[in-house]
């Protein structure tokens, strides 16, 4: 089960990066010139947020390990994919996962009970910092994790290298769009959700429900103008 351990190491390293990025955003001036948030950051909130963030990182590891074990027959291991297969599978997982996330996230906003009891925790972050991507109610975190496994089941056959790339990309992208730091690379990649796109969701809370891509908000008319 080496592939499960490697997946967990990738997730761990991404979150370690998120911790360093959070430190730089909250406690140094390193990114002060490229911050898009006009609202004031509150560095003291980091230690209040930490227990739930740590618990959800633990959930991330256990859910990933359990999901990968249950779906192990869907993965192609020990075969390096061609460049074409790698990118097609990577984009397919990202698209399916993001469409699922869009529907899930939008329902958390439209159902006032779910918004109040579950999703309002994530929206305590009016001016998010990088690791607040995982500052969510544990039930929301579990519900959101279904998207990637749904993608694997729909595709039926996924090369593990494409899945590892997905884990890395999705994690780093989530960390980035909560950073409040102006998008550099992502603004040049067509249809990719930017920090500006998700930061607007946190400040206005009435649209921009997608995460990885911005197409779903355009298609379903929920883009914040
Ligand atoms: Zn939301
Ligand atoms: Zn968010």
**Residue 171 in domain:** yes
Per-residue pLDDT at 151 exceeds 80? yes
User: Please, which pLDDT band fits residue 183 given cuts at 50, 70 and 90?
Assistant: confident
Residue with more model confidence, 87 or 180: 87
pLDDT, position 126: 83
Structure tokens at 195: 């920090």
Give the predicted TM-score (pTM) of the model. Answer: 0.93
Does the residue 125 lie in any domain? yes
Identify the pLDDT of residue 32.
80
Whether residue 80 has pLDDT greater than 90: yes
Residue 225 within any structural domain of the chain: no
Find the domain containing 147 and state its range. Answer: 2-219
> Ligand 2 centroid vs 105 CA: distance in angstroms?
10
Alpha-carbon gap, residue 119 to 205, rounded angstroms:
11
Domain annotation covers residue 203 = yes
* Cβ contacts of 18 within 8 Å, gap of 6 or more: 130, 131, 133, 134, 171, 175
Return the ligand number nearest the Cα of 135. 2
Q: How far is the CA of 205 from the centre of ligand 1 (A)?
A: 6
**pLDDT at residue 102 tops 90:** yes
Give Cα 46 to chain centroid, integer Å: 19
- pLDDT over 90, % of the chain: 80
Crossing angle between the packed helical segments 160-177 and 195-204, to the nearest 10 degrees: 50
pLDDT on residue 12:
97
- Dist. CA 117 → ligand 1 center (Å): 13
Domain count, the chain: 1
pLDDT at 186 over 90: no
Calculate how far, in angstroms, residue 178's C-alpha sits from the geometric centre of ligand 2: 6
Which ligand places an atom closest to the C-alpha of 127? Answer: 2
224 found inside a domain: no
Span 193-210, average pLDDT? 91
State the distance from the centre of ligand 2 to the C-alpha of 34, rounded, in angstroms. 19
8 Å CB contact between 196 and 216: no
Question: Considering every ligand atom, which ligand is closest to the CA of 195?
Answer: 2
Residue with tokens 């690791």, as numbered in its chain: 131
Q: Of the bound ligands, which one is closest to the alpha carbon of residue 174?
A: 2
Distance from the alpha carbon of residue 1 to the mean position of ligand 1, in angstroms: 35
Q: Is residue 223 over pLDDT 90?
A: yes
What integer pLDDT is reported at residue 205 of this predicted model? 86
Asked if 21 and 179 count as a contact pair (C-beta separation under 8 A), the reply is: yes
The encoded tokens of residue 132 equal 């607040």
Q: DSSP labels for 84-130?
A: HHHHHHHHHHHHHHHHHHHHHHHHHHHSHHHHHHTGGGGGG-SS--G
């Amino acid at each position: 089960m080496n592939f499960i351990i490697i997946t967990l190491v990738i997730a761990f390293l991404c979150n370690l990066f998120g911790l360093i990025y959070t430190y730089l955003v909250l406690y140094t001036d390193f990114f002060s010139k490229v911050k898009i948030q006009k609202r004031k950051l509150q560095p003291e909130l980091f230690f209040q947020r930490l227990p739930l963030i740590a618990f959800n990182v633990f959930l991330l590891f256990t859910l990933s390990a359990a999901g990968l074990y249950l779906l192990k027959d869907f993965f192609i291991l020990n075969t390096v994919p061609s460049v074409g297969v790698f990118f097609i599978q990577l984009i397919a997982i990202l698209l399916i996962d993001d469409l699922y996330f869009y529907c899930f996230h939008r329902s958390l906003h439209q159902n006032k009970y779910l918004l109040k009891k579950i999703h309002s925790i994530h929206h305590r972050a009016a001016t998010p910092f990088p690791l607040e991507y995982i500052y969510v109610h544990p039930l929301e975190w579990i519900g959101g994790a279904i998207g990637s496994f749904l993608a694997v089941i729909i595709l039926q056959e996924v090369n593990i290298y494409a899945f590892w790339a997905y884990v890395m990309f999705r994690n780093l992208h989530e960390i980035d769009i909560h950073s409040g730091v102006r998008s550099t690379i992502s603004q040049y990649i067509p249809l990719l959700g930017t920090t500006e796109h998700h930061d607007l969701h946190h400040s206005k809370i009435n649209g921009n429900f997608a995460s990885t891509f911005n197409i779903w908000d355009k298609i379903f008319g929920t883009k914040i103008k």
